Amino acid sequence: MKTVPLDPAPALPPPRRSFLYQLAAGVVSGVVALGPLAAGLAFFADPLLRRRPTMKGASVDGYLPVAKIAELPADGTPLRFVLFADKVDAWNVFRQQPIGTVYLRQIAGQVIAFSDVCPHLGCKVDYKSGAKSFFCPCHASTFDLDGQQTNPIPPRGMDTLQVREESGVVWVKYENFQRGIKEKVAI
Amino acid sequence: MIRALGDWLDSRTGYRHLLYEALYEPIPGGASWHYVWGSTLTFVFAVQVITGLFLWTAYSPSTLTAWESVYYIQHEMSFGWLVRGIHHFAAQAMMILLALHFMQVVIWGAYRAPREINFWLGLILMQIVLGLALTGYLLPWDQKGYYATQVATNIASVTPVVGPALQQLAQGGTSYGHQTLTRFFALHAGVLPALLVAFLGLHVYVFRRHGITVFKKYRDQPIAPFWPDQVLKDAVACLVVFATILFFVRWKGAELAGPADPSEAFSSPRPEWYFLFLFRFLKYEWVEHNLGLAGGAIYVPGAIMAVIALMPIVGRWKLGHGFNVAFTLALFGGAGYLTWVALDEDRRDPELQIAMAEAHADGQRAIELAHEFGIPATGVLSLLKEDPKTQGPRLFARHCKACHTYNGHDGTHRPVTTATAADLGQFGSREWVQKVLVDYHEVFAPLMNGKEQQPDGTVAIIGERFLAGDMATWSKDNRAALTDPANAESLKALVEFVVQQSGRKDLEPIDESLAKAGLDVFQLGTLKTGTLSSGCTDCHTMHVAGQESPLSENPGSGVPTLTGYAGKEWLLRFIANPGHDDFYGANNKMPAFAETMTERERQLLVDWMTGDYYQPAESKH
């Protein structure tokens, strides 16, 4: 193998404490070089180290008022509603902003809520009233009225959200779930 | 195996040669602490690049987000205080190391042939570092950086011919705004660091070419390599520098002053300490008189830089080196002296100290509010503009201090020359109510300073109508009875009742049973021993809170109503029109502020005076 010829080493006295010196020089240089980097990486890891709310204004257990029950069609047709809350984005708080949309269905007096975020890759799922089916415009995931997947593209059915009713008003616990996996895991 | 891999890599890259070149630089006379300064500078620059890149991941350059994102970095993000602190103090360390490096080069004569070019490269690096310091100071968009940088860009504007164009290019317009920040940020994080890296590369390359400058006595000594002895010394020096930086981060921390506010006068603009000498230089009248602004701020520093740049040439003559050393020492001595003068003057300037304390307090307040409420889309300034604690003192100083004082000052801790009306620092508190009852003439004594020209040419003292009025007389007549130790409880009860009626949150908790007892004193004037010359209801109107029928009504008498006395509603109505029949009527001399203050301003002032504003939990009393 052809190697680049090295310069001749200068005439040096035989090394005495050389190993200790080399070790010390290596260690101290390492500390000096890695110190600022470590501080920077710890700072960069902030999103993993601190969980912060993305909204304010929900009830203590995370519910937001969405609609009056009277607004929901009795035949079970899904309707999309906008949720309003104070949106928290890093240092900003934006008062009463639309923070997301959900589908609500009423079946025999019971209300079901679906997140309209596709469990596949997070696009917004449409409702096709003609086909009585949910349809995602990104990669054609389809779901039936109960949110069950009707083709193998999405990894799971649509995510249901917890619902409760208080004096004629529907409250929904608005959450986001990990996309692209079989299990429904809140994030 | 590792060796084979190393061989393969070396044949493709030649890294061993590079490593050898880097580590086995010959050092005549062996390693020395004298040689560490250049390495520490390079190290600190590397620290700035690393911390700067991480800060970049969180900083947002616009007038509505710069302060806000820096606040978030400093006070909300994990280790943000550490990374920003390191960046802040490393910048200052760089200035000191730069000065040391420069002095060493001059004193050792290291600028002489064949190292002239490298000396000039070093001077260019110095300018780039100064540029980084200047541009970085603006980025947090706080009052300090905002006003100090205004001075710098205005200096640029007096440059002959190109000045105004230069200023507008730097600012991105005729005044400061979003574009100023985006431009300064691009310079600070992009252009200047790239230039610094390029010139630093050349600097180190040329340095290696000529080798280290060695004292004569070492020149015949055996040669030792850079690795490991000098590397160890360099690394230890860097460690000491880094530890010092960390010490300052822990001890002082990087400050974030109040957010930049073009509408708010900032009375303590000072550059960072390393530019203080230039700042002080420009404050000499003879500088302005003889040199003019451009002369003092551009020609003189330019001439000094020219002399420095000529050092390698001057140094060729016998006495030249001596001159260079003397010039450098004189320069640093002079700059040091001016810095000291500037600091000393500031220390002795009480007005400046107040302004600095105010700027600091604004910063703390903005941080408190941002932490508690989050920042609206209109930026943190709108939080401060709507904050009674911030605006109240300023409104007081603007509208009230012409006559009143507030705990002896003008609300913002600045002195008031002559008060012609009562001190309102304790207005409405238990102490105030008691003092008005017992020492009315003392509370309102400043009214004697208020004089008014009468139509017939005589001068009338405004205070006389109050200090010789019914209430003053009542207070004098009943002082003995009220301060009788046997009646201490009665007085306390009376005060408690009046305070209760104000409905003020800042005076809670109220002793309900005491206040109930106070109602009797108020109405009937019955004390534990003896009675008052008259009850309060004999003159004053009073509707007790929560009761249908009034206790007493006496409208239009020029006697202030005590319904909700000193509470928010009472104060708002009073300030709007003190001459109303419910207040002083015809006796009034106070202006009606409904005409000169907006409703919002009056609201802020009253909220402040009645303590109705957000206080973080730990400072609540």
- Contact, B305 vs B123, CB < 8 A? yes
- Contact, B233 vs B36, CB < 8 A? yes
Q: Is residue B193 domain-resident? A: yes
Please give the residue of chain B at the shortest CA–CA distance from A4.
B14
Distance from CA of A60 to the nearest CA of B (A): 18
Please give the residue of chain A at the shortest CA–CA distance from B26.
A10
Instruction: Give contacts of A42 with chain B, Cβ < 8 Å.
Output: 78-79, 82
- SS3 sequence of B518-575: HHHHHHHCECCCCECCCCHHHCCCECCCCCCCCCECCCCCCCCCCCCCCCHHHHHHHH
Instruction: Give contacts of B374 with chain A, Cβ < 8 Å.
Output: 56, 86, 88, 91-93
Residue B600 has pLDDT above 90, yes or no: yes
Tell whether A36 is within 8 A of chain B (Cβ).
yes
The reply to whether residue B228 touches residue A25, judged by beta carbons under 8 angstroms, is yes
- The CATH number of the domain where B134 resides is what? 1.20.810.10
Please report, in angstroms and rounded to a whole number, the separation of the first and last CA atoms in chain A: 55
Q: Give the domain-ending residue among B228, B263, B298.
A: B263
What is A55-173's CATH number, 2.102.10.10, 1.10.357.10, 3.40.50.740, 3.40.50.800? Answer: 2.102.10.10
Among B39, B57, B232, the strongest candidate for a mutation testing the A interface, having the largest count of A CBs within 10 A, is: B232
Q: Give the domain-ending residue among B263, B297, B329.
A: B263
Residue A11 has pLDDT above 80, yes or no: no
Dist. CA A181–CA A120, nearest whole Å? 8
Q: Is residue B347 domain-resident? A: no
- Contact, B367 vs B349, CB < 8 A? no
If you average pLDDT over every residue of chain B, what do you get? Answer: 91
Q: Which residue in A13, A24, A42 is closest to B232 by CB distance?
A: A24
Structure tokens at B371: 């932490």
Structure tokens at A111: 């209300």
Dist. CA A8–CA A138, nearest whole Å? 66
Among B83, B249, B386, the strongest candidate for a mutation testing the A interface, having the largest count of A CBs within 10 A, is: B83
pLDDT at B113: 82
pLDDT tens digits, one per residue of B289-302: 888 888 888 889 99
Structure tokens at B56: 């970049």
Instruction: Give contacts of A28 with chain B, Cβ < 8 Å.
Output: 232, 235-236, 239
Dist. CA A152–CA B35, nearest whole Å? 69
- Position B81: which residue type? W
- Contact, B502 vs B496, CB < 8 A? no
Q: Is residue B439 domain-resident? A: yes
pLDDT at B410: 92
β-pairing, A79-89 with A55-56?
Answer: antiparallel
Q: Which residue in B43, B78, B374 is closest to A88 by CB distance?
A: B374
pLDDT at A2: 44
Number of structural domains chain B divides into? 2
- Contact, B259 vs B380, CB < 8 A? yes
| pLDDT class of A54 with cuts at 50, 70, 90 | confident
* Nearest partner of B389 among B566, B620, B615, judged by Cα: B615
Q: Which residue in B24, B54, B375 is closest to A44 by CB distance?
A: B54
The reply to whether residue B232 touches residue A28, judged by beta carbons under 8 angstroms, is yes
Instruction: Give contacts of A36 with chain B, Cβ < 8 Å.
Output: 46-47, 50-51, 86, 242
Dist. CA A54–CA B417, nearest whole Å? 52
Query: Mean pLDDT across the stretch B477-505?
Result: 93
Q: Which residues pair with B495 in a beta bridge?
A: none
B112 C-beta neighbours (distance < 10 Å), count:
18
The reply to whether residue A12 touches residue B53, judged by beta carbons under 8 angstroms, is no
Dist. CA B96–CA B449, nearest whole Å? 56
Is the same domain home to B403 and B259?
Answer: no
The reply to whether residue B86 touches residue A49, judged by beta carbons under 8 angstroms, is no
Please give the helix or strand (H or E) that residue B179 lies within, else none. Answer: helix B178-186
Structure tokens at B137: 């100071």
Instruction: Give contacts of A39 with chain B, Cβ < 8 Å.
Output: 51, 54, 79, 82-83, 86
Q: Give the domain-ending residue among B263, B287, B308.
A: B263
Query: Mean pLDDT across the stretch A157-186?
Result: 93
Dist. CA A109–CA B17, nearest whole Å? 81
Instruction: Give contacts of B72 with chain A, Cβ < 8 Å.
Output: 90-91
- Contact, B405 vs B419, CB < 8 A? yes
Residue B202 has pLDDT above 90, yes or no: yes
Among A13-27, A75-89, B87-101, B122-136, where is mean pLDDT lowest? Answer: A13-27
Q: In what order do the strands lie in the sheet with A163-166?
A: A63-68, A169-173, A163-166
Three-state SS at B613: coil
Please give the residue of chain B at the shortest CA–CA distance from A46.
B78
Instruction: Give contacts of A91 with chain B, Cβ < 8 Å.
Output: 65, 68-69, 71-72, 76, 370, 374-375
Residue B433 has pLDDT above 80, yes or no: yes
ipTM above 0.95, yes or no: no
Which residue bears the tokens 């451009």?
B294
Name the residue ranges covered by the structural domains of chain A. 55-173
Residue A108 has pLDDT above 90, yes or no: no
CB proximity list for A43: less than 8 A, separation 6 or greater: B54, B58, B73, B77, B78, B79, B80, B82, B83
Dist. CA B447–CA B422, nearest whole Å? 7
Instruction: Give contacts of B89 with chain A, Cβ < 8 Å.
Output: none
Residue B42 has pLDDT above 90, yes or no: yes
Dist. CA B543–CA B582, nearest whole Å? 12
Instruction: Give contacts of A51 with chain B, Cβ < 8 Å.
Output: none
Q: Which residue in B24, B78, B375 is closest to A43 by CB distance?
A: B78
Among B116-130, B400-414, B458-472, where is mean pLDDT lowest? Answer: B458-472
Domain range for residue B571?
390-615
Q: Helix A18-44 vs helix B231-251: angle between axes, to the nearest 10 degrees?
A: 30
Distance from CA of B58 to the nearest CA of A (A): 9
- Contact, B504 vs B565, CB < 8 A? no
Which long-range contacts link B148-157 to residues 24+ away (Cβ below 8 Å)? B148/B269, B148/B270, B148/B271, B148/B272, B148/B275, B149/B184, B150/B176, B150/B269, B151/B269, B151/B271, B151/B279, B152/B271, B155/B293, B155/B297, B155/B298
- Contact, B80 vs B58, CB < 8 A? yes
| C-alpha torsion B615→B618→B619→B621, nearest 10 | 100
Q: Which residue in A7, A21, A25 is closest to B20 by CB distance?
A: A7
